[in-house]
Amino acid sequence: MSNNVPHYMIIGGGITGLSAAFYLKKQMTENEASGGGPFRISVVEKSPSFGGKIHTIGHDGFVIEKGPDSFLARKRPIIDLAYDLGMENELTGTNPKAKKTYIVRGRKLHRMPPGLVLGIPTQMTPFMKTGLLSPLGKLRAAMDLILPKRDIAEDESLGHFLERRLGKEVLERIVEPLLAGIYAGDTYKLSLKSTFPQFRAMEQKNRSLILGMMASRKNVTEESAHLPAAVRNSVFVTFRRGLQSLVEGLVDALSTVDLRAGIGVVSVRRVAAGQTEVIFEDGHREVVDGVIVTTPTYQAAKLLSELPAASKLAKIDYISVANVIMAFDRKDIPFELDASGFLVPKHEGYTITACTLTSAKWLHAAPEGKVLLRCYIGRAGEQEWPAWSDEQLISKARQDIGDLLGITAEPSFVEVTRLMHSMPQYPVGHLEAIADFNKELTAAMPRVLVTGAGFHGVGLPDCIRQGKEAAKLLGDLVLR
């Protein structure tokens, strides 16, 4: 407490930390307006700028996302935040003329059958016609319609669950590459309960995953009712000036908050009931009245190393990924730009795991006559790439798009991004491990909360939700 004003500190200035600060400030300001006392909030970010994984750059009229590029429109927290910041008119949807997606199989691009939702078929005719699967593979997937549900309370891996319901072929050739885009993970190691709890709920409710998914599609209109009209028909949405504009919107809204970038925290320790000492890289210490840690879990484990349960956080693995973003002249692209991109399953003999035709998917991403492409490299089991130079990454990405798309022209510019230890892998039993961690944390340091992408959802909307929930918990705790 400084000058008797309660001081709350948020560690980590990514989307989770900034959202936590925004909603904590909102609650504290409302409390102050209704007769409560003044307060102070600080956000401490180790790197020189805010936003964490979010990083948009502008280049000659291109809007280039080096981290996340969009989010699922049906997830409310990010849309609510856009409204809270007065930025709802900046939302934009995908190009309706580039809805197709492809998957590589046998060194060729196959159209993803229409009606797949998270890789689960909701229309059987196109699914049965696809060249991606063998007749036996299709038959095995259709068995989901008659297989009994499994009544088990424990967690299981996403891979085992999907193989059990739809068979190995659908898992390996369609679902895994699709979901790998979100987690870059090994589905046989990822927790079903933590990654796709809705799959499990569908099995319990509808017995069949396919029938459950078909039933859930009927609610789509309801789910998009909260969206501004301009983006109501888009599954994915982003901000037309890039996701960085959301970060800028948050930073502007936090103008009365003490925002500190370029200084890391090294330790968070209890000093007295309700009082926590935060120790900084430069050695200085501050005693504060509440803390929300939003760093990746391997960092949080270090900050809280005095707490035995922190070892549970240290066990969460993170995968490293790289992006090679390339710009071309339209004349150098030998095909129609009517697709958003393609996915590459494991064992197809390519380095890239996916390629987004960014400027076809997002019309704001490139100036007229130019094309922007984004290739992804790295996933669980394919982690040798950090030893490669940028030139090697570029050369492998160019070789793959040359082979698959026939693009042989020299790109007009290339951006390589290395996102080291950036994709958390929730292991089987993750929810239980996090619950145990939180129990011990609350008992030892009731006014310290730890949250973010390593906990309950990696997508931007989930991170915002988690930041907001942590802010509410801390706010309620200190104001009661």
Chain residues binding ligand FAD by CB under 6 A are 11-17, 44-47, 52-54, 67-71, 264-265, 294-296, 299, 321, 419, 422-423, 452-453, 458-460, 463
Give the residue with the Cβ less far from ligand FAD, 41 or 132.
41
Give the residue with the Cβ less far from ligand FAD, 120 or 265.
265
- Cβ neighbours of residue 89 closer than 8 Å, sequence gap 6 or more: 228
**Shortest distance in whole angstroms from residue 8 CB to ligand FAD:** 15
**Shortest distance in whole angstroms from residue 356 CB to ligand FAD:** 9
User: Whole-angstrom Cα distance, residue 211 to residue 369?
Assistant: 44
For residue 354, give the amino acid letter. A
**Shortest distance in whole angstroms from residue 185 CB to ligand FAD:** 12
Q: What angle do CA 452, 456, 459 make, to 5 degrees?
A: 70
Task: Return the structure tokens found at 296.
Answer: 């990746």
User: Whole-angstrom Cα distance, residue 196 to residue 216?
Assistant: 14
Give the residue with the Cβ less far from ligand FAD, 214 or 372.
372
Give the residue with the Cβ less far from ligand FAD, 17 or 475.
17
User: Whole-angstrom Cα distance, residue 291 to residue 297?
Assistant: 15
> How many residues are present in the chain?
480
DSSP 10-33: EE--BHHHHHHHHHHHHHHHHHHH
**Shortest distance in whole angstroms from residue 227 CB to ligand FAD:** 16
Backbone torsion region of residue 2, taken as left when φ is above 0, otherwise alpha when ψ lies between -120 and 50, otherwise beta: beta
**Shortest distance in whole angstroms from residue 50 CB to ligand FAD:** 7
Provide, for the chain, the percentages of residues in helix, strand and coil under a 3-state DSSP scheme, each rounded to the nearest 5.
Answer: 40, 25, 35
CB 27 within 8 A of CB 472: yes
- Name the β-bridge partners of 178: none
User: Whole-angstrom Cα distance, residue 41 to residue 25?
Assistant: 7
**Shortest distance in whole angstroms from residue 477 CB to ligand FAD:** 21
Give the residue with the Cβ less far from ligand FAD, 231 or 423.
423
Give the residue with the Cβ less far from ligand FAD, 209 or 445.
445
User: Whole-angstrom Cα distance, residue 115 to residue 163?
Assistant: 20
Residue 351: φ, ψ to 5°: -85, -45
Backbone torsion region of residue 106, taken as left when φ is above 0, otherwise alpha when ψ lies between -120 and 50, otherwise beta: left
Question: What are the Cα distances from residue 151, in Å, to 107, 191, 232?
Answer: 40, 17, 37
Give the residue with the Cβ less far from ligand FAD, 210 or 463.
463
Give the residue with the Cβ less far from ligand FAD, 45 or 155.
45
**Shortest distance in whole angstroms from residue 184 CB to ligand FAD:** 8
Task: Return the structure tokens found at 452.
Answer: 């973010």
User: Whole-angstrom Cα distance, residue 143 to residue 210?
Assistant: 10
> For the chain, how long is the longest CA-to-CA vector?
73
Residue 26: φ, ψ to 5°: -60, -50
Place of tokens 């699914």: 127
Give the residue with the Cβ less far from ligand FAD, 14 or 212.
14
For residue 54, give the amino acid letter. I
- Name the β-bridge partners of 63: 58
**Shortest distance in whole angstroms from residue 139 CB to ligand FAD:** 34
Give the residue with the Cβ less far from ligand FAD, 124 or 314.
314
**Shortest distance in whole angstroms from residue 470 CB to ligand FAD:** 11
Give the residue with the Cβ less far from ligand FAD, 54 or 324.
54
**Shortest distance in whole angstroms from residue 413 CB to ligand FAD:** 19
Give the residue with the Cβ less far from ligand FAD, 132 or 321.
321
**Shortest distance in whole angstroms from residue 79 CB to ligand FAD:** 12
**Shortest distance in whole angstroms from residue 178 CB to ligand FAD:** 13
Q: What angle do CA 430, 352, 388 make, to 5 degrees?
A: 90
